[in-house]
Amino acid sequence: MGLIQKLKEQWNNWYYHDFDDIDDDFDWELDEDENLWNKSKSDAVEKHFDKLMRDPEERNVYVAECLNTMADASEKMEQCDVEYEAVTSLLMDMEIIEGLSREDKADIKYQAKKIEAAEKERRRVYNNVEHLNEADLDMMERLGQEIPEGIDKIREAEKYRVLVKQDLRKLSKERSDLKFKKRELMNMVVNARGISTIIAVSVVLCIVMLLVLQYSLGMNVTIGYVLAGGIGAVALVFIYVKYLDSIHELEKVAKNINHLITVHNTVKIRYINNTNLLQYYYMKFNVDSSNELEDLWNVYGAEIAAYEKEEKLKDDLAGYYNKLIGTLSKFKVVDPDIWIHQCKALYDHKEMVEVRHALIARRQKLREQMEYNKSIALESKESIASLAKKYPEYSKEISAIIGKYEGL
């Protein structure tokens, strides 16, 4: 039994030895909570990656994708940095206000309460129109200048998310189709080997039978030799051509699957950035969609229209606003205007704590997004550096690609 088992292992090693070099079913999928690419560390993967990187076209595509990822990440970080500075400035203003003396705080609280009382009276005047709740109204007044643009940005991001999801589904389907095609080609190769083996054995058996007929019975079997050899040779050549075509097609399919994986990871990075951006906007405006924000904005517009009819209240409030802004400016508050629309926080410590928590949450969300994009850019940069180090013979070519990209 040991001899039979050993012969069987040697047969399998010969019969299937080609497939170890073209197997690409390792997982390069992107995960939000893990590294950019979760690559397998097997020898087969390293060998496959080495083969691809020695292909000029595949190498250029790989470097270009890394550079595009770095550019996208850098742009997102710049956008987040501007918003991060604005949020940080508000938190610093809160520290200044809370660090004032008791007398100065009392003056600010008195002015804030007067503004709050006048605001309540103003809202009573236009009670006949549909109006927002306190939280939504405060948000509208605090971020009113940003809302029209915010609606457009959220709607654009929502549309983009739909398109990216469609792209991801299409890429997944194409990848499944290619894997199915790969399995079919592998079966064709296996079948070609099996058929060639059967043909060879059959030819040998025919020749043996012809030899028996010739030497045992004295028959003339020359035509039999010719037919057996000719048919066997034609069949083997035909099967061998099919075998080579299948192997060549398998290599093409493996390259296409790798390209789809690269594109899929790039699209998924954009999807994660888009999702993070939408989550930030939803948190910032306290809504769940662009339609909800637009509805709130329309209602707010109706309220403002009613409010503008009360000129006296408007004039009174303007005076209160200017006085509070002047008081806050005297204490070096960077953005005093924003406090006239959240006066309750100036005299209600609990409200001030809630405002601080909301700002800290927004800043944390921005920091997470900045760190995520920083890690994406760093990993892409390290990938290019690692490629140049691993393949020094292509370092000049890689540098040329980077230089051409930076010159755009």
| Same domain membership, residue 187 and residue 73 | no
Q: Domain for residue 3, yes or no?
A: no
**Residue that terminates a domain, selected from 308, 332, 352:** 308
pLDDT of residue 51: 62
Comparing 130 with 103, the larger pLDDT belongs to 103
Please check the confidence at residue 15 and state whether its pLDDT lies above 70: no
Rg (C-alpha) for the chain, rounded Å, is: 36
Q: Find out whether 19 and 186 touch, Cβ atoms under 8 Å.
A: yes
Alpha-carbon distance of 174 to 108, in angstroms, equals 64
- Rounded to the nearest 5°, which phi and psi values hold at 334? -65, -45
| Same domain membership, residue 245 and residue 231 | yes
Q: Domain for residue 156, yes or no?
A: yes
The model's pLDDT over 312-348, given as tens digits with 9 standing for 90+, comes to 777 888 888 889 888 888 888 888 888 888 888 888 8
| Same domain membership, residue 194 and residue 71 | no
**Residue that terminates a domain, selected from 308, 325, 351:** 308
Number of structural domains, the chain?
2
Angle at 212 between CA 208 and CA 218, to 5 degrees: 140
| Same domain membership, residue 205 and residue 351 | no
Q: Find out whether 396 and 107 touch, Cβ atoms under 8 Å.
A: no
Q: Which residue range is the domain that position 403 belongs to?
A: 41-126+312-408
| Same domain membership, residue 327 and residue 264 | no
**Residue that terminates a domain, selected from 270, 290, 308:** 308
CA 185 vs. chain centroid, Å, equals: 32
State the SS3 of the chain: CHHHHHHHHHHHHHHCHHHHHCCCCCCCCCCCCCCCCCCCCCHHHHHHHHHHHCCHHHHHHHHHHHHHHHHHHHHHHHHHHHHHHHHHHHHHHHHHHHCCCHHHHHHHHHHHHHHHHHHHHHHHHCCCCCCCCHHHHHHHHHHCCCHHHHHHHHHHHHHHHHHHHHHHHHHHHHHHHHHHHHHHHHHHHHHHHHHHHHHHHHHHHHHHHHHHHHHHHCCCCHHHHHHHHHHHHHHHHHHHHHHHHHHHHHHHHHHHHHHHHHHHHHHHHHHHHHHHHHHHHHHHHCCCCHHHHHHHHHHHHHHHHHHCCCHHHHHHHHHHHHHHHHHHHHCCCCCHHHHHHCCHHHHCHHHHHHHHHHHHHHHHHHHHHHHHHHHHHHHHHHHHHHHHHHCHHHHHHHHHHHHHHHCC
Q: Domain for residue 94, yes or no?
A: yes
Question: Per the structure block, which two tokens stand in for 67?
Answer: 């550079």
CATH of the domain at 247: 1.10.287
The model's pLDDT over 63-112, given as tens digits with 9 standing for 90+, comes to 778 878 888 888 888 888 888 888 888 888 888 888 888 888 888 888 88
The pLDDT confidence band at residue 49, using thresholds 50, 70 and 90, is: low
How many other C-beta atoms can be found within 10 angstroms of the C-beta atom of residue 255? 18
Question: Per the structure block, which two tokens stand in for 403?
Answer: 């230089």
| Same domain membership, residue 220 and residue 153 | yes
Dihedral of alpha carbons 213, 215, 217, 221, sign: positive
Give the closest residue to 134 by CA, choosing from 281, 280, 286, 278: 286
Alpha-carbon distance of 111 to 329, in angstroms, equals 14
Mean pLDDT of 154-182: 83
Alpha-carbon distance of 110 to 102, in angstroms, equals 12
Please check the confidence at residue 41 and state whether its pLDDT lies above 50: no
Q: Find out whether 323 and 111 touch, Cβ atoms under 8 Å.
A: yes
Mean pLDDT of 214-224: 73
Comparing 47 with 66, the larger pLDDT belongs to 66
pLDDT of residue 361: 92
Distances (CA, A) of 331 to 85, 300, 318, 352, 400: 20, 32, 20, 18, 55
Please check the confidence at residue 162 and state whether its pLDDT lies above 80: yes
pLDDT of residue 4: 40
Angle at 42 between CA 36 and CA 43, to 5 degrees: 125
| Same domain membership, residue 104 and residue 53 | yes
Alpha-carbon distance of 328 to 29, in angstroms, equals 52
